Structure 1
Amino acid sequence: MNIRNKITSLFTVLTGVIILMLSIFIYHFSKRSIDKEFFHRLSVRGGIAAQAHYEGGTLSASLYNEIREKHLQRLPGEREYFFDSIPDKQVLASQNISLPDDIKIQNTRIQFINGKIYHVVLPYLYKGKRYTVLMTARNESGETSMQDIRQNLFLGILLSVIIVFVVGLLFSAEIVNPISNIINRVKKISALNLDMRLPEHSGKGEIVDLTQTFNDMLDRLETSFETQRNFVNKLSHELRTPLTAIIGEAELALDKERNPVEYQQALSVIAREADQLHHLTTSLLELAQAGNSINEEFMGNIRLDEMILSVKKLVDFTDPQNHIHINFEELPDDDAKITVFGNQNLLKLAITNVVQNACKYSDNGKVTVSLRATERQCILIVEDHGIGIPQKELRYIFDPFFRASNTTAYKGYGVGLPLAQKIIRIHRGEIKFTSMEGAGTRAEMRFPIHS
């Protein structure tokens, strides 16, 4: 069932239930009002009948009958019963009168309905003696009125439900049509026309928010597809360059007979380009693997101060000319505040990439690695005083293969920082860069404390 039919059905059912409850309320109080009016008529007739019966000297029977015929319409099935005392069930049974089990005649006025017969019991005091008058009749006019009310209510309910259903269809169409328009528009959007957007309307409301959300998502998708296309183009270029050099050197060496020195030079070029290709493919593999979640089996508690010392040792081995300075002056007394939960190898790879970049782009100038903690986060900061990053290019540093315009003199592939960002995000952390061209760069990595 689609949303439109659901809204219509729900609207119709709820309104129908309300109308039904209101109809039951009207029927119930109409019945009470009709019964009350008929009991009153019976009581009035009972009083007159008692006066005529017991005070015959004052009002003769013939005069009573004349008054009743002229002024009191005789009720259907009307009967009068007079008792000199309070009658019990045996006395009533002798008059073919049956009482419900919960009714007991006492020296008070009683009125009840047994089947379709209305009963009114009236105590009557005459000359110090108490008598009992019982009036019975059938309320045929009331039954007719109630039948008319039932028919009118039924027709009213039926007509109301039909009207509500039609109104519900129009109402739901008014609600759903904007959503249907959005669906039809979205169906037309594919990878070939990601620049298409949903028409936005002024004002506020869920439809406006939904349209804006879809357009924001399309913006992100378009950016993602564009990034992917750029990634493929850059990747093909980065792979083609060393492969072209390797093939060219090999073909040149095989073109004619050469001396050992020339073969050695050709092999050196091939080895150098193959080494670059190896580093590139290794970085790409690490980048792809970092995009997946980490198996809990390979995760554990990691002290970041020990991790920094391990990274320093690794960089000392690969680049002995570095000038890394470690600052632990703000370390907390509680080791738990510098302990994170994660994969040691991946986290070491991410931090190493950031530190090596700082060393490389500062020409092995001073690089400060510091660690501190707040109540909820460990903060690792890497600062250098190197070439910096142009302000306009800072937003692109996490795009694969992106290299700043001032790094052409430095060897690299633009894979290290995207890899570091992915690894840090897997560890529920974040990395931010601030930089000024020609003044240096500051990388701040934040990790949640493992409690």
Structure 2
Amino acid sequence: MNIRNKITTLFTLLTGVIILMLSVFIYHFSKRSIDREFFHRLTVRGGIAAQAHYEEGILGPDVYNEIRQKHLQRLPDEKEYFFDKIPDSLFLTSHHITLPPDFEEQLNAGKTVQFIRGLTYYSFIPYKYSGKRYIVMMSARNDYGEEGLRDMRQNLVLGIILAVIIVFVVGMLFSAEIVNPISNIIQRVKRISVTNLDMRLPEQPSKGEISDLTQTFNDMLDRLETSFETQRNFVNKLSHELRTPLTAILGEAELALSKERDPQEYRAALSVIAREADQLHHLTTSLLELAQAGNSVKEEFMGSIRLDELILSVKKLVDFTDPGNHIRINFESLPEDIEYITIYGNQNLLKLAITNVVQNACKYSNNGKVTISLHASESQCIVVVEDRGIGIPEKELRYIFDPFFRASNTSAYKGYGVGLPLAQKIIRIHRGEIRFTSMEGAGTRAEMRFPIRS
């Protein structure tokens, strides 16, 4: 069952139940009112009949019959009985009258007893005259009341059926008004594929859940389009980066094998092959590290890490790979409590991420001055790497985390454009973030933020 039918069905059932309960309520209290009014009529007639029967000097039977004929409409199957004492149960049973359990107690207390058996209404009325107590029994059928109730039942049933039909039709229209925007979104989304990710859902004129849903889909499509475009660029650049050294290796090998050469020429060819193979090795190693970083780290490889110690180990590693660096470490803003510089993570991965950032700073500043500083806020540890190198063009700053992207002013420097994407991926795994600010020709500032281990 689709959502439109569900809404219509639930709306109709709910409204139908409410109307049914209301109809039962109306019928019940209408019947009580009719019964009460008819019993009142029986009581009044019983009082007049008792007065005519027992007080003959004042109002005789002839006068009572004349009054009843002129002013009181005779009730269907109306009967009246007069008893000098509480009626005998055998007499009443012989007339097929079933008495209520407290019949005698009520009459002894001087109360009128009223009840209904089948279609007949019975009223037993105590009457006092000349110090004696008598009982008047009045019985009749309320044919007019029953006819009115029967008409009411028919009208209520017809009204319920008509109301349910109207509610169902209105519910269908109402649910269509609600569901149609969603159906339109579904139909449009179905037409979006890999070949037309630039399509977007039309914005809704009014604010609400449908507008939020449309915006959410459009945001998702933006991310998908960016992801597909990045992947496409990644594959193109990867193919180019892999093809270049492989072409050089194959070319040198074919050239060397094309004819006999002296040992010096072979050594030159092998030197080119070794250099290109080394470049290919570094490239594939970087790609492997990028892939192995994944999106999460196994818990058994996680632990508490002091960032000041991690920065010192990064400095030691860079000193080994690039002895000519001019890295300066600034720990002047360290908090007294080491908990504020302790994070939870994988030490090897974080060391790799920070090392990539520091090596970039050294490389693109031509081994100029690079400052690594560490400070903390109430909830974050912040590592800042600053250099005074060539900087990054402002328009290209947004692309530095795309794999294989290299800024337009880095052609003179060896690199593959993999280090920063890898660093960003590792930092994100640790629920951190990395930001770059740069000015071309003036230098670059990299800020890495990590949540403090609570």
Alpha-carbon displacement from aligned partner over 1:192-244 (angstroms, at most 9, x marks no partner): 11122223342223223222222222222122111111111111111111111
Structure 1 pair 36/350, CA: closer, same or farther in 2 (3 Å)? Answer: same
**What is the letter of the counterpart of residue 193 of structure 2?**
S
- In structure 1, runs of 5+ residues without a counterpart are none
Displacement after TM superposition at 1:88 (Å): 7.3
1:332 to 2:335 alignment:
yes
Kindly report which structure 2 residues correspond to 1:74-153, keeping only aligned pairs within 5 A, or say none: 74-85=74-85, 97-103=97-103, 104-105=105-106, 106-153=109-156
Which has the larger displacement, 394-403 or 326-335?
Answer: 326-335
Structure 1 pair 300/189, CA: closer, same or farther in 2 (3 Å)? Answer: same
- 2:279 maps to which residue? 276
- 1:372 maps to which residue? 375
- 2:270 maps to which residue? 267
SS in 1 for 2:194: coil
Pick from 157, 178, 183 the counterpart of residue 180 of structure 1. Answer: 183
Give, in whole Å, the separation in 2 of the partners of 1:143 and 1:308: 97
- 1:12 maps to which residue? 12
Residues 401 and 421 in structure 2, CA contact (< 8 A), matched pair in contact too: yes
Kindly report which structure 2 residues correspond to 1:364-443, keeping only aligned pairs within 5 A, or say none: 364-443=367-446
Structure 1 pair 155/102, CA: closer, same or farther in 2 (3 Å)? Answer: farther
Which has the larger displacement, 85-94 or 330-339?
Answer: 85-94
- 1:303 maps to which residue? 306
Residues 388 and 444 in structure 2, CA contact (< 8 A), matched pair in contact too: yes
Give, in whole Å, the separation in 2 of the partners of 1:121 and 1:303: 99
Displacement after TM superposition at 1:86 (Å): 5.0
Give, in whole Å, the separation in 2 of the partners of 1:88 and 1:229: 105
Residues 52 and 61 in structure 1, CA contact (< 8 A), matched pair in contact too: yes
Give, in whole Å, the separation in 2 of the partners of 1:208 and 1:257: 75
Residues 386 and 438 in structure 1, CA contact (< 8 A), matched pair in contact too: yes
- In structure 2, runs of 5+ residues without a counterpart are none
Residues 124 and 130 in structure 1, CA contact (< 8 A), matched pair in contact too: yes
SS in 2 for 1:192: helix
Residues 100 and 114 in structure 1, CA contact (< 8 A), matched pair in contact too: no
- 1:167 maps to which residue? 170
- 1:66 maps to which residue? 66
1:51 to 2:51 alignment:
yes
**What is the letter of the counterpart of residue 66 of structure 1?**
E
Structure 1 pair 88/265, CA: closer, same or farther in 2 (3 Å)? Answer: farther
SS in 1 for 2:403: coil
Displacement after TM superposition at 1:49 (Å): 0.8
- State how many pairs are aligned: 451
SS in 1 for 2:444: strand
- 1:205 maps to which residue? 208
- 1:253 maps to which residue? 256
**What is the letter of the counterpart of residue 349 of structure 1?**
L
Displacement after TM superposition at 1:381 (Å): 1.3
- 1:191 maps to which residue? 194
Displacement after TM superposition at 1:96 (Å): 5.5
- 1:34 maps to which residue? 34
Pairwise CA RMSD = 1.9
**What is the letter of the counterpart of residue 71 of structure 2?**
H
Structure 1 pair 342/89, CA: closer, same or farther in 2 (3 Å)? Answer: farther
Displacement after TM superposition at 1:76 (Å): 2.5
Displacement after TM superposition at 1:325 (Å): 1.4
Residues 295 and 425 in structure 2, CA contact (< 8 A), matched pair in contact too: no
SS in 1 for 2:203: coil
Give, in whole Å, the separation in 1 of the partners of 2:95 and 2:231: 102
Residues 108 and 123 in structure 1, CA contact (< 8 A), matched pair in contact too: yes
Structure 1 pair 11/102, CA: closer, same or farther in 2 (3 Å)? Answer: farther
**What is the letter of the counterpart of residue 52 of structure 2?**
A
Alpha-carbon displacement from aligned partner over 1:118-146 (angstroms, at most 9, x marks no partner): 23233323234443323222222222222
Which has the larger displacement, 272-281 or 256-265?
Answer: 256-265
**What is the letter of the counterpart of residue 22 of structure 1?**
L
Alpha-carbon displacement from aligned partner over 1:371-393 (angstroms, at most 9, x marks no partner): 22222211111111211111111
**What is the letter of the counterpart of residue 11 of structure 1?**
F
